[in-house]
Amino acid sequence: MNTVELENIKFSYQNNVDVLNIESLEIVKGERVFIHGPSGSGKSTLLNLLAGVLTPSSGSLKVLDKKLNDLSVSERDKFRGDHIGFVFQSFNLIPYLTIKENISLPYRVSKIKRNKISDIEEETLKIAKHLKIDNFLDQKVSRLSIGQQQRVGVARALIGNPDIVIADEPTSSLDDEVTDSFMNLLLEKQKESGFTLIFVSHDKRLEKHFSKVISLSEINKAGGKL
């Protein structure tokens, strides 16, 4: 089964200049996909389309057999909450909540994710230990370093075994040791629950962990016109 089926997708922001023009992209269920490309080539835009944050200007976008073009904004938000774990470049953490509360947020928001977790305390602690943030669980996230905040964002994305984990430069603020620990956790979790992993990074050293490597510049016909 395909997790992603994208056909003749075009996307532009308000200025009507095509940022993306992709004829076809298929991602099979359970695949680990590494997407790379120069800055400004549309990687974040593509991830936001796949997560239903943005909708294409034209073309067909199917994720988990659902045509996202046909869904309303709130339906897309629910779809994302139920099926996707997103590691944002900018973390998107809630500053007045503790780390533990931030990590467990998807559990509270989505019934589908809630049903997959038997003990949220135990699950939160396990993931936090892997990422070496278990000593800070009751602190507010606003007190954390950038690298620590990034790890909280990663932990939150993994809670509730999503069908797809989408990560936008998730290791950019991590040192080598934490990057290794993070990749081990991500790959271990991926093997355990078989989610489809869609991962954008500049760090070519990470490519070896993935089953498919996509150069966005090669598949994006709009790339040359930027």
Q: Is 8 helix (H, G, I), strand (E, B) or coil?
A: strand
Nearer of residues 104 and 220 to ligand ADP, judged by Cβ: 220
Are 25 and 212 spatial neighbours (Cβ–Cβ below 8 Å)? Answer: no
Q: Determine which residue in the list 6, 19, 61, 87 makes contact with ligand ADP, applying CB under 6 A.
A: 19
Up-side HSE of residue 131: CA atoms within 13 Å toward CB? 31
Q: Which of residues 30-49 bind ligand ADP (CB under 6 A)?
A: 37, 39-45
Q: How far is the CB of 207 from ligand ADP (least distance, A)?
A: 17
Q: How far is the CB of 14 from ligand ADP (least distance, A)?
A: 6
Mask for 45-74, x = binds ligand ADP (CB under 6 A):
x-----------------------------
Q: Which of residues 115-154 bind ligand ADP (CB under 6 A)?
A: none
Nearer of residues 28 and 226 to ligand ADP, judged by Cβ: 226
Nearer of residues 40 and 95 to ligand ADP, judged by Cβ: 40
Q: How far is the CB of 27 from ligand ADP (least distance, A)?
A: 18
Q: How far is the CB of 36 from ligand ADP (least distance, A)?
A: 9
The reply to whether 202 sits near ligand ADP by the rule CB under 6 A is no
Q: Which of 30, 193, 32, 209 is nearest to 123 (CA)?
A: 193
Q: How far is the CB of 39 from ligand ADP (least distance, A)?
A: 4
Cβ neighbours for 118, distance < 8 A, ≥ 6 positions apart: none
Residue ranges that bind ligand ADP, judged by CB under 6 A: 13, 19, 37, 39-45, 226
